[in-house]
Protein backbone atom coordinates (compact mmCIF):
# COMPACT_ATOMS: atom_id res chain seq x y z
CA UNK A 1 0.00 0.00 0.00
CA UNK A 2 1.38 3.44 -0.92
CA UNK A 3 2.36 6.04 1.69
CA UNK A 4 -0.25 8.43 0.31
CA UNK A 5 -2.94 5.79 0.72
CA UNK A 6 -1.85 5.08 4.28
CA UNK A 7 -1.87 8.79 5.08
CA UNK A 8 -5.38 9.29 3.68
CA UNK A 9 -6.69 6.36 5.72
CA UNK A 10 -5.15 7.64 8.94
CA UNK A 11 -6.82 11.04 8.40
CA UNK A 12 -10.25 9.52 7.77
CA UNK A 13 -12.70 10.42 10.60
CA UNK A 14 -13.63 7.38 12.68
CA UNK A 15 -17.34 8.19 12.45
CA UNK A 16 -17.21 8.17 8.64
CA UNK A 17 -15.46 4.80 8.55
CA UNK A 18 -17.96 3.33 11.02
CA UNK A 19 -20.91 4.77 9.07
CA UNK A 20 -19.72 3.22 5.82
CA UNK A 21 -18.91 -0.05 7.58
CA UNK A 22 -22.34 -0.25 9.22
CA UNK A 23 -24.16 0.54 5.97
CA UNK A 24 -22.25 -2.22 4.19
CA UNK A 25 -23.09 -4.73 6.94
CA UNK A 26 -26.83 -3.94 6.76
CA UNK A 27 -26.79 -4.44 2.98
CA UNK A 28 -25.37 -7.94 3.41
CA UNK A 29 -28.51 -9.31 5.13
CA UNK A 30 -31.59 -7.11 4.65
CA UNK A 31 -31.97 -7.78 0.87
CA UNK A 32 -31.92 -11.54 1.55
CA UNK A 33 -34.65 -11.48 4.17
CA UNK A 34 -37.05 -9.00 2.54
CA UNK A 35 -38.21 -11.53 -0.08
CA UNK A 36 -39.43 -14.21 2.34
CA UNK A 37 -42.42 -12.39 3.92
CA UNK A 38 -43.80 -11.35 0.50
CA UNK A 39 -43.07 -14.59 -1.33
CA UNK A 40 -46.72 -15.73 -1.52
CA UNK A 41 -47.92 -12.46 -3.14
CA UNK A 42 -45.00 -12.73 -5.57
CA UNK A 43 -46.08 -16.28 -6.49
CA UNK A 44 -49.65 -15.13 -7.02
CA UNK A 45 -48.66 -12.15 -9.18
CA UNK A 46 -46.22 -14.09 -11.36
CA UNK A 47 -48.30 -17.33 -11.41
CA UNK A 48 -45.34 -19.47 -10.37
CA UNK A 49 -45.03 -22.44 -8.03
CA UNK A 50 -42.97 -22.90 -4.90
CA UNK A 51 -40.11 -24.51 -6.83
CA UNK A 52 -39.45 -21.46 -9.00
CA UNK A 53 -40.14 -19.07 -6.13
CA UNK A 54 -37.55 -20.82 -3.97
CA UNK A 55 -34.87 -19.72 -6.45
CA UNK A 56 -35.33 -16.15 -5.20
CA UNK A 57 -34.03 -17.26 -1.76
CA UNK A 58 -32.05 -20.50 -2.07
CA UNK A 59 -30.61 -19.26 -5.36
CA UNK A 60 -28.98 -16.42 -3.48
CA UNK A 61 -27.42 -18.79 -0.95
CA UNK A 62 -26.02 -20.84 -3.84
CA UNK A 63 -24.52 -17.61 -5.23
CA UNK A 64 -22.72 -17.10 -1.93
CA UNK A 65 -21.21 -20.57 -2.15
CA UNK A 66 -20.26 -20.50 -5.82
CA UNK A 67 -19.14 -16.89 -6.22
CA UNK A 68 -17.36 -16.13 -2.91
CA UNK A 69 -13.93 -17.27 -4.24
CA UNK A 70 -14.01 -14.37 -6.74
CA UNK A 71 -13.67 -11.76 -3.99
CA UNK A 72 -9.93 -11.92 -3.15
CA UNK A 73 -8.95 -11.57 -6.83
CA UNK A 74 -11.23 -8.56 -7.28
CA UNK A 75 -9.72 -6.87 -4.22
CA UNK A 76 -6.23 -7.49 -5.60
CA UNK A 77 -7.12 -5.88 -8.92
CA UNK A 78 -9.07 -2.78 -7.87
CA UNK A 79 -8.25 -2.42 -4.15
CA UNK A 80 -10.28 -3.47 -1.12
CA UNK A 81 -12.31 -0.25 -0.76
CA UNK A 82 -13.34 -0.17 -4.41
CA UNK A 83 -14.14 -3.89 -4.36
CA UNK A 84 -16.58 -3.32 -1.48
CA UNK A 85 -18.07 -0.34 -3.33
CA UNK A 86 -18.57 -2.63 -6.35
CA UNK A 87 -20.22 -5.24 -4.11
CA UNK A 88 -22.74 -2.78 -2.66
CA UNK A 89 -23.47 -1.40 -6.13
CA UNK A 90 -24.29 -4.91 -7.36
CA UNK A 91 -26.60 -5.44 -4.37
CA UNK A 92 -28.43 -2.18 -5.12
CA UNK A 93 -28.80 -2.94 -8.85
CA UNK A 94 -29.97 -6.45 -8.03
CA UNK A 95 -32.56 -5.02 -5.64
CA UNK A 96 -33.98 -2.82 -8.39
CA UNK A 97 -34.33 -5.83 -10.71
CA UNK A 98 -35.88 -8.00 -7.98
CA UNK A 99 -38.80 -5.59 -7.63
CA UNK A 100 -39.81 -5.93 -11.30
CA UNK A 101 -42.82 -8.19 -11.99
CA UNK A 102 -40.94 -10.57 -14.29
CA UNK A 103 -39.48 -13.96 -13.37
CA UNK A 104 -36.50 -13.58 -15.71
CA UNK A 105 -35.63 -10.07 -14.47
CA UNK A 106 -36.09 -11.10 -10.83
CA UNK A 107 -33.75 -14.08 -11.31
CA UNK A 108 -31.21 -11.75 -12.94
CA UNK A 109 -31.55 -9.46 -9.93
CA UNK A 110 -31.09 -12.41 -7.57
CA UNK A 111 -27.86 -13.36 -9.36
CA UNK A 112 -26.64 -9.75 -9.29
CA UNK A 113 -27.47 -9.19 -5.61
CA UNK A 114 -26.16 -12.65 -4.72
CA UNK A 115 -22.81 -11.85 -6.33
CA UNK A 116 -22.63 -8.53 -4.47
CA UNK A 117 -23.42 -10.09 -1.10
CA UNK A 118 -20.99 -12.95 -1.75
CA UNK A 119 -18.21 -10.41 -2.40
CA UNK A 120 -19.13 -8.34 0.64
CA UNK A 121 -19.30 -11.36 2.95
CA UNK A 122 -15.72 -12.25 2.05
CA UNK A 123 -14.20 -8.78 1.99
CA UNK A 124 -15.58 -7.27 5.21
CA UNK A 125 -13.39 -9.38 7.58
CA UNK A 126 -10.39 -8.39 5.47
CA UNK A 127 -11.37 -4.73 5.85
CA UNK A 128 -11.50 -5.14 9.63
CA UNK A 129 -8.10 -6.84 9.61
CA UNK A 130 -6.60 -3.96 7.63
CA UNK A 131 -8.17 -0.93 9.31
CA UNK A 132 -9.22 -2.00 12.81
CA UNK A 133 -6.59 -4.51 13.83
CA UNK A 134 -6.36 -2.95 17.29
CA UNK A 135 -10.16 -3.14 17.82
CA UNK A 136 -11.05 -6.49 16.29
CA UNK A 137 -13.58 -7.65 18.87
CA UNK A 138 -15.53 -4.40 18.99
CA UNK A 139 -15.61 -4.05 15.21
CA UNK A 140 -16.55 -7.67 14.44
CA UNK A 141 -19.23 -7.38 17.11
CA UNK A 142 -20.59 -4.28 15.39
CA UNK A 143 -20.49 -6.13 12.07
CA UNK A 144 -22.64 -9.03 13.24
CA UNK A 145 -25.02 -6.75 15.13
CA UNK A 146 -25.64 -4.54 12.09
CA UNK A 147 -26.31 -7.60 9.93
CA UNK A 148 -28.81 -8.83 12.51
CA UNK A 149 -30.48 -5.44 12.83
CA UNK A 150 -30.80 -5.18 9.05
CA UNK A 151 -32.37 -8.63 8.80
CA UNK A 152 -34.78 -7.94 11.68
CA UNK A 153 -35.96 -4.61 10.29
CA UNK A 154 -36.26 -6.02 6.78
CA UNK A 155 -38.39 -8.97 7.91
CA UNK A 156 -40.53 -6.89 10.25
CA UNK A 157 -41.40 -4.10 7.82
CA UNK A 158 -41.94 -6.06 4.58
CA UNK A 159 -45.62 -6.92 5.14
CA UNK A 160 -46.67 -3.50 6.57
CA UNK A 161 -44.99 -1.72 3.66
CA UNK A 162 -46.66 -4.03 1.15
CA UNK A 163 -50.05 -3.48 2.78
CA UNK A 164 -49.51 0.28 2.86
CA UNK A 165 -48.65 0.50 -0.82
CA UNK A 166 -50.61 -2.44 -2.20
CA UNK A 167 -47.47 -3.71 -3.94
CA UNK A 168 -44.88 -6.29 -2.90
CA UNK A 169 -42.29 -4.36 -4.91
CA UNK A 170 -42.18 -1.42 -2.47
CA UNK A 171 -40.24 -3.07 0.38
CA UNK A 172 -37.80 -4.58 -2.11
CA UNK A 173 -37.26 -1.25 -3.86
CA UNK A 174 -36.86 0.64 -0.58
CA UNK A 175 -33.95 -1.62 0.35
CA UNK A 176 -32.58 -1.14 -3.16
CA UNK A 177 -32.72 2.62 -2.57
CA UNK A 178 -30.91 2.11 0.73
CA UNK A 179 -28.28 0.17 -1.21
CA UNK A 180 -27.91 2.98 -3.76
CA UNK A 181 -27.29 5.53 -0.98
CA UNK A 182 -24.80 3.16 0.65
CA UNK A 183 -23.01 2.62 -2.67
CA UNK A 184 -22.69 6.36 -3.24
CA UNK A 185 -21.11 6.80 0.19
CA UNK A 186 -18.74 3.89 -0.43
CA UNK A 187 -17.68 5.16 -3.84
CA UNK A 188 -16.98 8.64 -2.46
CA UNK A 189 -14.96 7.04 0.32
CA UNK A 190 -13.05 4.72 -2.03
CA UNK A 191 -12.25 7.50 -4.50
CA UNK A 192 -11.19 9.80 -1.66
CA UNK A 193 -8.79 7.18 -0.31
CA UNK A 194 -7.38 6.43 -3.73
CA UNK A 195 -6.18 3.12 -5.16
CA UNK A 196 -4.13 0.70 -3.10
CA UNK A 197 -0.71 -0.32 -4.29
CA UNK A 198 0.94 -3.64 -3.66
CA UNK A 199 -2.17 -5.35 -2.32
CA UNK A 200 -1.03 -8.76 -3.58
CA UNK A 201 2.38 -8.74 -1.84
CA UNK A 202 1.16 -11.17 0.83
CA UNK A 203 -1.22 -13.21 -1.30
CA UNK A 204 0.10 -16.66 -2.29
CA UNK A 205 -1.72 -19.12 -4.52
CA UNK A 206 -5.12 -20.27 -3.29
CA UNK A 207 -3.93 -23.88 -3.61
CA UNK A 208 -1.67 -23.35 -0.59
CA UNK A 209 -4.72 -22.49 1.48
CA UNK A 210 -6.33 -25.79 0.45
CA UNK A 211 -3.38 -27.63 2.01
CA UNK A 212 -3.63 -25.86 5.36
CA UNK A 213 -5.33 -27.90 8.14
CA UNK A 214 -6.29 -24.81 10.17
CA UNK A 215 -8.09 -23.36 7.15
CA UNK A 216 -10.01 -26.59 6.57
CA UNK A 217 -10.96 -26.87 10.24
CA UNK A 218 -12.46 -23.39 10.19
CA UNK A 219 -14.15 -24.11 6.85
CA UNK A 220 -15.84 -27.23 8.22
CA UNK A 221 -16.98 -25.34 11.32
CA UNK A 222 -18.41 -22.55 9.17
CA UNK A 223 -20.16 -25.07 6.93
CA UNK A 224 -21.75 -26.99 9.80
CA UNK A 225 -23.01 -23.89 11.60
CA UNK A 226 -24.37 -22.38 8.37
CA UNK A 227 -26.21 -25.58 7.46
CA UNK A 228 -27.76 -25.80 10.93
CA UNK A 229 -28.73 -22.12 10.99
CA UNK A 230 -30.46 -21.98 7.60
CA UNK A 231 -32.16 -25.33 8.21
CA UNK A 232 -33.70 -24.19 11.48
CA UNK A 233 -34.60 -20.81 10.02
CA UNK A 234 -36.65 -22.73 7.45
CA UNK A 235 -38.18 -25.49 9.56
CA UNK A 236 -38.41 -24.48 13.25
CA UNK A 237 -42.04 -23.26 13.05
CA UNK A 238 -43.12 -26.45 11.25
CA UNK A 239 -41.26 -28.71 13.70
CA UNK A 240 -42.75 -26.96 16.71
CA UNK A 241 -46.31 -26.79 15.31
CA UNK A 242 -46.36 -30.47 14.40
CA UNK A 243 -45.19 -31.32 17.93
CA UNK A 244 -48.15 -29.49 19.48
CA UNK A 245 -46.77 -26.00 20.07
CA UNK A 246 -49.45 -23.34 19.31
CA UNK A 247 -48.94 -21.80 15.88
CA UNK A 248 -48.46 -18.28 17.25
CA UNK A 249 -45.80 -19.51 19.67
CA UNK A 250 -44.09 -21.49 16.90
CA UNK A 251 -43.81 -18.32 14.83
CA UNK A 252 -42.58 -16.38 17.84
CA UNK A 253 -39.80 -18.94 18.30
CA UNK A 254 -38.21 -17.91 15.02
CA UNK A 255 -38.34 -14.23 15.98
CA UNK A 256 -36.76 -15.01 19.35
CA UNK A 257 -33.94 -16.99 17.70
CA UNK A 258 -33.07 -14.02 15.50
CA UNK A 259 -33.42 -11.39 18.23
CA UNK A 260 -31.32 -13.34 20.73
CA UNK A 261 -28.58 -13.90 18.17
CA UNK A 262 -27.89 -10.15 17.94
CA UNK A 263 -26.54 -9.51 21.47
CA UNK A 264 -24.97 -12.98 21.55
CA UNK A 265 -22.98 -12.31 18.38
CA UNK A 266 -21.66 -9.01 19.75
CA UNK A 267 -20.69 -10.48 23.12
CA UNK A 268 -18.90 -13.48 21.58
CA UNK A 269 -16.93 -11.32 19.14
CA UNK A 270 -15.73 -9.08 22.00
CA UNK A 271 -14.90 -12.06 24.21
CA UNK A 272 -13.13 -13.98 21.43
CA UNK A 273 -10.80 -11.09 20.71
CA UNK A 274 -9.62 -11.08 24.34
CA UNK A 275 -8.93 -14.80 24.65
CA UNK A 276 -5.89 -16.68 23.44
CA UNK A 277 -7.62 -20.07 23.59
CA UNK A 278 -11.24 -20.51 22.51
CA UNK A 279 -12.00 -24.23 22.76
CA UNK A 280 -14.06 -24.03 25.95
CA UNK A 281 -15.95 -21.02 24.62
CA UNK A 282 -17.06 -22.76 21.45
CA UNK A 283 -17.85 -25.95 23.36
CA UNK A 284 -20.18 -23.93 25.57
CA UNK A 285 -21.93 -22.44 22.54
CA UNK A 286 -22.39 -25.85 20.93
CA UNK A 287 -23.71 -27.22 24.23
CA UNK A 288 -26.45 -24.57 24.23
CA UNK A 289 -27.48 -25.64 20.73
CA UNK A 290 -27.40 -29.33 21.74
CA UNK A 291 -29.69 -28.72 24.73
CA UNK A 292 -32.14 -26.82 22.53
CA UNK A 293 -32.17 -29.53 19.84
CA UNK A 294 -32.68 -32.22 22.47
CA UNK A 295 -35.51 -30.10 23.86
CA UNK A 296 -37.18 -29.95 20.44
CA UNK A 297 -36.64 -33.69 20.05
CA UNK A 298 -37.77 -34.94 23.46
CA UNK A 299 -39.93 -32.21 25.02
CA UNK A 300 -40.89 -29.61 22.37
CA UNK A 301 -43.90 -28.26 24.26
CA UNK A 302 -42.15 -28.03 27.66
CA UNK A 303 -40.30 -24.76 27.02
CA UNK A 304 -40.47 -23.75 23.34
CA UNK A 305 -39.37 -20.16 23.97
CA UNK A 306 -36.51 -21.44 26.12
CA UNK A 307 -35.33 -23.70 23.30
CA UNK A 308 -35.52 -20.72 20.91
CA UNK A 309 -33.46 -18.50 23.22
CA UNK A 310 -30.78 -21.17 23.50
CA UNK A 311 -30.70 -21.67 19.74
CA UNK A 312 -30.38 -17.93 19.16
CA UNK A 313 -27.56 -17.52 21.67
CA UNK A 314 -25.70 -20.61 20.48
CA UNK A 315 -26.07 -20.11 16.75
CA UNK A 316 -25.52 -16.34 16.86
CA UNK A 317 -22.42 -16.91 18.98
CA UNK A 318 -21.07 -19.61 16.65
CA UNK A 319 -21.53 -17.42 13.57
CA UNK A 320 -19.76 -14.51 15.26
CA UNK A 321 -17.02 -16.85 16.49
CA UNK A 322 -16.40 -18.17 12.96
CA UNK A 323 -16.11 -14.68 11.45
CA UNK A 324 -13.84 -13.49 14.27
CA UNK A 325 -11.56 -16.52 13.83
CA UNK A 326 -11.10 -15.58 10.17
CA UNK A 327 -9.51 -12.36 11.38
CA UNK A 328 -7.64 -13.76 14.39
CA UNK A 329 -6.13 -16.78 12.61
CA UNK A 330 -4.53 -14.76 9.78
CA UNK A 331 -1.73 -12.19 9.78
CA UNK A 332 -2.50 -10.20 6.62
CA UNK A 333 -5.73 -8.71 5.18
CA UNK A 334 -5.18 -10.63 1.92
CA UNK A 335 -4.95 -13.91 3.83
CA UNK A 336 -8.12 -13.03 5.73
CA UNK A 337 -9.93 -12.46 2.42
CA UNK A 338 -8.71 -15.80 1.08
CA UNK A 339 -9.72 -17.69 4.23
CA UNK A 340 -13.06 -15.89 4.26
CA UNK A 341 -13.63 -16.84 0.62
CA UNK A 342 -12.79 -20.50 1.22
CA UNK A 343 -14.77 -20.93 4.44
CA UNK A 344 -17.85 -19.06 3.28
CA UNK A 345 -17.90 -20.71 -0.15
CA UNK A 346 -17.99 -24.20 1.33
CA UNK A 347 -20.17 -23.03 4.22
CA UNK A 348 -22.94 -21.61 2.05
CA UNK A 349 -22.88 -24.57 -0.34
CA UNK A 350 -23.45 -26.81 2.67
CA UNK A 351 -26.12 -24.42 3.96
CA UNK A 352 -28.06 -24.59 0.70
CA UNK A 353 -28.41 -28.35 1.07
CA UNK A 354 -29.50 -28.27 4.72
CA UNK A 355 -33.22 -27.42 4.40
CA UNK A 356 -33.59 -29.95 1.57
CA UNK A 357 -31.95 -32.77 3.56
CA UNK A 358 -33.91 -31.93 6.69
CA UNK A 359 -37.19 -31.99 4.78
CA UNK A 360 -36.25 -35.20 2.91
CA UNK A 361 -35.57 -37.01 6.18
CA UNK A 362 -39.01 -35.90 7.39
CA UNK A 363 -40.61 -37.38 4.27
CA UNK A 364 -38.65 -40.61 4.74
CA UNK A 365 -39.43 -41.11 8.43
CA UNK A 366 -42.86 -39.48 8.70
CA UNK A 367 -41.92 -37.14 11.58
CA UNK A 368 -39.13 -34.76 12.57
CA UNK A 369 -37.23 -37.13 14.89
CA UNK A 370 -34.69 -38.35 12.35
CA UNK A 371 -34.20 -34.82 11.00
CA UNK A 372 -33.34 -33.48 14.47
CA UNK A 373 -30.98 -36.41 15.10
CA UNK A 374 -29.24 -35.46 11.85
CA UNK A 375 -28.64 -31.94 13.22
CA UNK A 376 -27.32 -33.36 16.50
CA UNK A 377 -24.83 -35.57 14.65
CA UNK A 378 -23.77 -32.57 12.57
CA UNK A 379 -23.38 -30.55 15.76
CA UNK A 380 -21.01 -33.15 17.19
CA UNK A 381 -18.72 -32.65 14.20
CA UNK A 382 -19.09 -28.88 14.50
CA UNK A 383 -18.07 -29.05 18.16
CA UNK A 384 -14.90 -31.00 17.37
CA UNK A 385 -13.97 -28.57 14.58
CA UNK A 386 -14.68 -25.60 16.86
CA UNK A 387 -12.49 -26.94 19.65
CA UNK A 388 -9.65 -27.53 17.18
CA UNK A 389 -9.91 -24.04 15.69
CA UNK A 390 -10.03 -22.71 19.25
CA UNK A 391 -6.37 -23.62 19.67
CA UNK A 392 -4.00 -20.68 19.00
CA UNK A 393 -2.70 -21.83 15.62
CA UNK A 394 -2.36 -19.43 12.70
CA UNK A 395 -3.00 -19.98 9.00
CA UNK A 396 0.49 -19.67 7.52
CA UNK A 397 0.69 -19.42 3.75
CA UNK A 398 3.86 -17.46 3.05
CA UNK A 399 7.14 -16.58 4.67
CA UNK A 400 5.96 -14.59 7.68
Question: Is residue 399's pLDDT more than 90?
Answer: no
Measured distance CA(192)–CA(188) in Å, rounded: 6
Which range has the worst mean pLDDT, 134-138, 309-313, 394-398? 394-398
Region 137-146: mean pLDDT is: 92
Nearest one of 289, 282, 281 to 313, comparing CA atoms:
289
- Amino acid 55: pLDDT: 83
Contacts of 373 (CB under 8 A, 6+ apart): 297
Question: Is residue 92's pLDDT more than 90?
Answer: yes
CA distances from 77 to 87, 184, 197, 334 (A): 14, 21, 10, 12
Measured distance CA(315)–CA(386) in Å, rounded: 13
Q: How confident is the model at residue 198 (pLDDT cuts 50, 70, 90)?
A: very low
Count, residues in the chain: 400
Question: Is residue 305's pLDDT more than 50?
Answer: yes
- Amino acid 271: pLDDT: 95
Region 350-365: mean pLDDT is: 85
Region 303-314: mean pLDDT is: 95
Measured distance CA(49)–CA(137) in Å, rounded: 44
Nearest one of 9, 4, 287, 254 to 130, comparing CA atoms:
9
Phi-psi region of 194 (alpha: psi -120 to 50; beta: other; left: phi over 0): left
Provide, rounded to the nearest whole percent, the portion of the chain with pLDDT above 70: 93
pTM of the shown model: 0.86
Q: How confident is the model at residue 132 (pLDDT cuts 50, 70, 90)?
A: confident
Angle at 124 between CA 231 and CA 54, to 5 degrees: 30
Task: Compare 183 and 200 and report the one with higher pLDDT.
Answer: 183
- Amino acid 285: pLDDT: 97
Region 66-85: mean pLDDT is: 92
Q: What digits encode the pLDDT tens for the residues 250-280?
A: 888 888 898 899 999 999 999 999 998 999 9
- Amino acid 2: pLDDT: 46
Residue 366 is given by DSSP the state S
- Amino acid 320: pLDDT: 95
Q: Are residues 240 and 295 in contact, defined by beta-carbon separation less than 8 angstroms?
A: no
Which range has the worst mean pLDDT, 79-83, 310-314, 338-342? 338-342
- Amino acid 382: pLDDT: 97
Question: Is residue 3's pLDDT more than 70?
Answer: no
Region 292-316: mean pLDDT is: 95
Residue 259 is given by DSSP the state H
Amino acid sequence: MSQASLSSRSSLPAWLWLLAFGLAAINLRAPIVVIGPVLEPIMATLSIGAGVASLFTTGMILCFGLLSPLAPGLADRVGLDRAIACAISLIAIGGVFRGVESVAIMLLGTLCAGLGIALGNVLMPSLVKRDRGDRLGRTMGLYTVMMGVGATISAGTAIPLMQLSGSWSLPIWLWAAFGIVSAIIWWRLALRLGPEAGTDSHRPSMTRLFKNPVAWTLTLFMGAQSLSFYTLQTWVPAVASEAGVPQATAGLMLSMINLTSIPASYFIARLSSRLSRHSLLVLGLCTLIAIALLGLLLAPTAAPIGWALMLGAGQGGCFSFALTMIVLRTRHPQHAAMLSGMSQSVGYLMAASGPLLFGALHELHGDWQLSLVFLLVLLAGQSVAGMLIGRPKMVRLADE
